[in-house]
Amino acid sequence: MLDEAARATGVDEELLKAVITVESNYNPRAVSPRGALGLMQLTPVTADRYGTREERQTPAARRLLDARTNIFTGARMLADLTRRYGGIDVALAAWNAGEGTVRKAGGRMPAIAETEAHVQLPQHAHGVEVVSCAPQTCGQ
């Protein structure tokens, strides 16, 4: 599924794996306190925004618990955010902090500890490393 979603959307398969690891630790039934669901921890609103016409025939809360639908929806979202913000780092910041927060930060990484911990770009790196953070550093 990950390979297929990566090929369909142009999002690197390793990035999809990293997001899934951070968001749900590969638990397809994960539910966050804020109502995000499934492997990539997507909200029903996001599922409706990035779902296909066919997918939207099923209630978002139910379809997000389907691993394939969750992965493809998340991959479509990451592809859109990357195109819109011009880079994976800011796309991941929008994923974590919300698009409105990134807009308020001028289209850049917002100065939020959780978001900065979520997206780490070592100076020498050419890619993006997605990491999780401890609750005491994330303000959760």
Q: Could you give the residue numbers annotated as active site?
A: 23
CA dist., res. 15 & res. 83, Å (int): 15
Q: Phi and psi dihedrals of 37, rounded to 5?
A: -125, 150
Q: Phi and psi dihedrals of 120, rounded to 5?
A: -115, 130
CA atoms lying within 13 Å on the CB side of residue 89: 15
Whether 73 and 36 have beta carbons less than 8 Å apart is answered as: no
Q: Which two tokens stand for residue 10?
A: 């142009």
Residue 31 three-state SS: strand
